Amino acid sequence: MTAPVFDKILVAVDDSPAALAAGHAAVHLAARTGARLRFVHVTGDGELVRALRRMGRDSELSTRRSKAAAALMAHVGAEAERADVIAETTVLEGDPAALVLAEATNWDADLIVMGRPDLRGPGHHPFVGTVTRKVLELAEIPVMVVPRPA
């Protein structure tokens, strides 16, 4: 049996340690295989976002989100560049799992790489990790889930 060939790897990233570890793993894999990367960051409407909108702070929210997304994409893009990996970045807004899956399909990705949040210990939220779970359930291509660094 031959190992699968990955030419196009879609990497879902945010600023969590698990997602950044996934980005690092994807860069390493792409450097070894010659694959191209597409880093995707999806901003969703969480509880904090809805609260700021209700308070009429849409402009502040938009500015903060744009700056944070730009910094994140610059970080992952620079890591790929240092490894001589061809990479592109995109920021989308909406439902994270649905958009990761759609982007993988539209780009014709061979592999999706995502981080696995740490769901153990005090303070974990029962919905953390639902994006990864949903992508695992619905993806029609392989999904590599990278654990949060110890």
* Stated pTM of the model: 0.84
Using DSSP, state whether 150 is helix, strand or coil.
Answer: coil
The residues, any chain, with a CB within 8 Å of residue 61's CB and separated by 6 or more, are 49, 52, 53
- The b-or-e profile of 47-81 (16+ CB within 10 A means b, else e) is eeeeebeeeeeeeebeeeeeeebeebbeebbebbe
pLDDT, average across residues 101-121: 88
The 8-class DSSP code of residue 123 comes to T
Q: Distance of alpha carbon 29 from its chain centroid, rounded?
A: 16
Question: Is residue 82 pLDDT above 90, yes or no?
Answer: yes
The 8-class DSSP code of residue 120 comes to -
Domain boundaries, the chain: 8-147
pLDDT digits (tens, 9 = 90+) for 40-81: 999 876 555 566 666 766 677 677 778 889 999 999 999 999
Q: How far apart are CA 42 and CA 69, in angstroms?
A: 9
pLDDT, average across residues 133-149: 93
Using DSSP, state whether 117 is helix, strand or coil.
Answer: coil
Looking at the domain 8-147, which fold is it? Rossmann fold (3.40.50)
pLDDT digits (tens, 9 = 90+) for 47-58: 555 666 667 666
